[in-house]
């Protein structure tokens, strides 16, 4: 199953190349991250592993305690259960391929986009956590909380 329409989640763009959510198999999408854009909070996945491969730009990516600035041609793996996040504190847009197994599916990003893109101001935190939880994502607990 392939999907090519762009899904906007705030400032991020997601274009599914393979949507494996219907078959519980691998999925792959292109992620575009503008400089200094708002990104998801640190989180873990209970149902899938994730790998990021940078195509263009520099992406700051962390998995548990390891933080790396990935450039084109570099990758990093997030096993299920690991706390990870990404950001782009640099001056150029990042393009990356994200591979998930099994795939979370394009509908997750549509559902998150509906919350994040609704109105002015920050998104409804309870609604966002509800969507994340439904798809097996767990927001990380801040240190000391």
Q: What is the pLDDT of residues 62-82, one digit of tens each?
A: 999 999 999 999 999 999 999
Whether 145 shows a pLDDT value over 80: the answer reads no
Q: Of all residues in the chain, what percent carry a pLDDT higher than 70?
A: 94
C-alpha neighbours within 13 Å on the C-beta side of residue 58: 9
Whole-prediction pTM: 0.91
Per-residue pLDDT, 122:
87
Helix%, strand%, coil% for the chain, nearest 5: 15, 40, 45
Return the minimum-mean-pLDDT range out of 25-39, 98-112, 119-133.
Answer: 119-133
CB 70 within 8 A of CB 85: no
What was the pLDDT predicted at 144?
Answer: 55
Domain segments of the chain: what residues?
6-137
What average pLDDT does the chain have?
93
Q: Specify whether domain 6-137 bears CATH 2.60.120.10.
A: yes
- First-to-last alpha carbon distance for the chain, in angstroms, is 42
Task: Lay out the sheet containing 27-33: strands in order across.
Answer: 6-9, 12-18, 27-33, 94-101, 49-56, 75-78
């Amino acid at each position: 199953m392939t999907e090519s329409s762009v899904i906007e989640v705030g400032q991020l763009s997601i274009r599914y190349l393979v949507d494996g959510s219907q078959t519980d198999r691998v999925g792959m999408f292109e992620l575009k991250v503008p400089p200094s854009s708002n990104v998801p909070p640190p989180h873990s996945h209970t149902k899938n592993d994730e790998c990021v491969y940078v195509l263009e730009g520099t992406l700051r990516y962390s998995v548990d305690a390891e933080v790396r600035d990935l450039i084109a041609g570099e990758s990093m793996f997030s096993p299920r259960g690991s706390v990870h996040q990404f950001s782009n504190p640099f001056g150029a847009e990042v393009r990356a391929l994200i591979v998930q197994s099994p795939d979370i599916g394009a509908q997750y990003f549509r559902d998150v986009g509906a919350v994040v893109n609704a109105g002015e101001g920050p998104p409804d935190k309870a609604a966002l956590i509800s969507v994340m939880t439904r798809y097996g994502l767990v927001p990380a607990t801040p240190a000391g909380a």
